[in-house]
Amino acid sequence: MFGKIGLEEHFATTETVDDSFFFTFEPEKQKILGGKLLDFLDLRTREMDQHGMDMMILSLNAPAIQARWDKKAATGMARRANDTVAEAIAKRPGRYLSFAALAMQDPDEATRELERCVKELGFVGALVNGFSQIDFEDNIVYLDDKRYRPFWAKVQDLGVPFYLHPRSAITAHRHMYEGHPWLTGAAWGFAVETGTHCLRLMCSGLFDEFPDLQIIIGHLGECLPSHIWRTEHRLQREAPGFAKGAPLPWKGSLVDYFNNNFYVTTSGNFRTQALLGAMLEIGSDRVLFSTDYPFADVAEACAWFDVCDISENDRRKIGRENAIRLFGLKL
């Protein structure tokens, strides 16, 4: 398929590139990965042209800003990253767009930076790498926290999507992976961390307060498409007991939230069975093509997607048309 649009496609700055070496210990592999992350246009443009991709929507690598617990340092780093990518993509109009990197350590500054990026730099939304560490290393805050309600109001007001990207649990919270460090990242821990974060948003009442919010998650839904019904089913029975007679924080159905307020992408999960499962749960109108460059191969992602066993109508929607609609692109 020609004309594909990918929207979990990463870059780094010289300040953040080392964050991506956590799971890549060989110096030669680090050199290759770092080169791809720091090259905004040339290497990735060639790969796009070779494999039928018209556009990439870029985003900062992880955990980057979210792991800088000094608020002022995080805020400055986010602004510099956004200015850097804005300058780069301006050189290739029509081929690249960007999500804003945001320092959620300071909700007010993050709100202002999102508005600047959307209104002044032409960004199409935000991507945040999970929870943020605030003031000290072990103080982590998730986005369902009440301090973020004004931020979410601004996201809804701007009418842009918010991409919730994974990060690994901090060292102090990795007890379940003891002896198996290889499970902490993309192989498994990312899905546990991000899927739980999504459920926290749902169970906080966020989508009752802001029903137009649109959240994007990668890797074909971080296991939620196959599990959201069971979570809902058990919560109906068990949550009132945990609440001990108090009203539950959310009013609606988790399945409905997932179907109305979430999109999933194919980033790094090139499995037709998983794609079909996501389409059955959330609908093909809410699935979006992505590669997860450079942590996954553009060639592998495109070779799979271009021939996977779905209808051509769904292939066009997932590969291109859904993104055009979601982001209001004029292509």
Domain ranges within the chain, ordered by starting residue? 4-327
The fourth-level CATH superfamily of domain 4-327 is Metal-dependent hydrolases (3.20.20.140)
What is the pLDDT, as a whole number, of residue 40?
86
With 90 as the cut, is the pLDDT of residue 25 above it? no
Q: How far apart are CA 56 and CA 52, in angstroms?
A: 11
With 90 as the cut, is the pLDDT of residue 103 above it? yes
What is the pLDDT averaged over residues 222-232? 98
What is the pLDDT, as a whole number, of residue 302?
98
Each residue's pLDDT tens digit, 246-300? 999 999 999 999 999 999 999 999 999 999 999 999 999 999 999 999 999 999 9
Q: How far apart are CA 78 and CA 300, in angstroms?
A: 31
Close Cβ partners of 192 (under 8 Å, ≥ 6 residues apart): 223
Whether cis (ω within 30° of 0) applies to the bond prior to 294 is yes
What is the pLDDT, as a whole number, of residue 245?
86
What is the pLDDT, as a whole number, of residue 110?
98
What is the pLDDT averaged over residues 194-222? 98
Q: Which of helix, strand or coil describes residue 230?
A: helix
Close Cβ partners of 189 (under 8 Å, ≥ 6 residues apart): 166, 168, 169, 177, 183
Q: How far apart are CA 9 and CA 41, in angstroms?
A: 12
The separation between CA 37 and the C-alpha centre of its own chain, rounded to angstroms, equals 17
Q: How far apart are CA 284 and CA 319, in angstroms?
A: 10
Q: Percentage of residues in the chain with pLDDT exceeding 70?
A: 100
**Sign of the C-alpha dihedral computed for residues 136, 12, 296 and 278 taken in this order:** positive
Question: Which residues carry out catalysis?
Answer: 292
Mean pLDDT of the chain: 96
What is the pLDDT, as a whole number, of residue 26?
86
**E-strand spans in 102-244?**
126-129, 132-133, 140-141, 162-165, 215-217
With 80 as the cut, is the pLDDT of residue 23 above it? no
- 27 confidence band (pLDDT: 50, 70, 90): confident
With 90 as the cut, is the pLDDT of residue 135 above it? yes
What is the pLDDT averaged over residues 69-77? 97
